[in-house]
Structure 1
Amino acid sequence: MTSALWPLQTALYAKLTGHGPLMALVSGVYDEVPEQAAHPYVSFGSITETADDAHNQRGLEVAVVLHVWSKYRGFREAAAVLTALDVALDRQPLTVTGYRDVSIAHTQHTEVRDPDPDIRHVNVSYRVWLTRI
């Protein structure tokens, strides 16, 4: 199985940072969050790949977790960022180098009260299906 990890993360990053409505809400989209990053922001979490071959085609089913971080009291701001993430990604075209038949769908999200009472956190899960070229 050839990993789509980096090509997929690169494609997601480009899609998110190129989406004006999302970027109007957040200070950035990060793989490694800078120490002084301003809230709200989005960060990459885990990416889990599972082989999803069909006959003579190599494919992958990938679970992607993104994190929304906010210091707004309550979840209103994080919910707005979540909505913008979905507008950018859920069932939208995504070009991933080395792959075709790429589709992406929002599968779930979870609001989390961080141990720091000033921080709100939403875990957002997407499922991505890809066929290797």
Structure 2
Amino acid sequence: MSTPYAALTPTQAAIYAALTSDLLLMDMVNGVYDGVPEDVPRPYVLLGDAIETPDNAHGAFGRQTVQTLHAWSDYHGYAEVNAIAYRLQQLLDHQPLVIAGHRHVVTRFEFAQTLTDPDQPGLRHAAVRFRIITSKE
């Protein structure tokens, strides 16, 4: 058996590639970012916090990566972030991902939550979380 491996960076790269290659999502937002430039207007999607934990099997290495995505919007009401959150689910939930150096087992949608920023009542936010399970190739 070889040494352990990390799935976090290639998993995030695969998610980014899946999202940015979707024409419908890219028509809905002004971009998908890991770090948002100051001058980008909303709506956009932000790659948020992620957690990687071992998911090893006898004689094989595996990982579970939990990735949170954030949709941000200035639209009055939740319709826009809800539509973006739904598109994220369509693109990732139980859909194959190409993850460099890893075998993608499954991606599962865990939850979506809408929020209003208390300091900016017109700012809408949807947090959408996925669990991605991989094994070492």
Q: TM-score, normalised by structure 2?
A: 0.94
Give identity over the alignment, percent: 40
Cα deviation code 1:112-131 (max 9, x no counterpart): 11121120001110010000
Query: Who is 1:82 aligned against?
Result: 85
Query: Who is 1:27 aligned against?
Result: 30
- Matched AA of 2:46: S
Residue 5 of structure 1: how far off its partner (Å): 1.4
- Matched AA of 1:30: Y
Gaps of 5+ in 1: none
Q: Between Structure 1 and Structure 2, how many residues are aligned?
A: 133
Residue 101 of structure 1: how far off its partner (Å): 3.5
| Correspondence 1:121 to 2:110 | no
Q: Once superposed, which parts of structure 1, at least 4 consecutive aligned residues long, lie more than 6 Å away?
A: none
Describe the SS at the equivalent of 1:117: strand
Question: Over aligned residues, Cα RMSD in angstroms?
Answer: 0.9
* Whole-angstrom distance in 2 between the partners of 1:102 and 1:94: 9
* Whole-angstrom distance in 2 between the partners of 1:22 and 1:101: 22
* Whole-angstrom distance in 1 between the partners of 2:40 and 2:82: 19
| Correspondence 1:7 to 2:6 | no
- Matched AA of 1:76: A
CA contact (8 A) 1:68 1:81 kept: yes
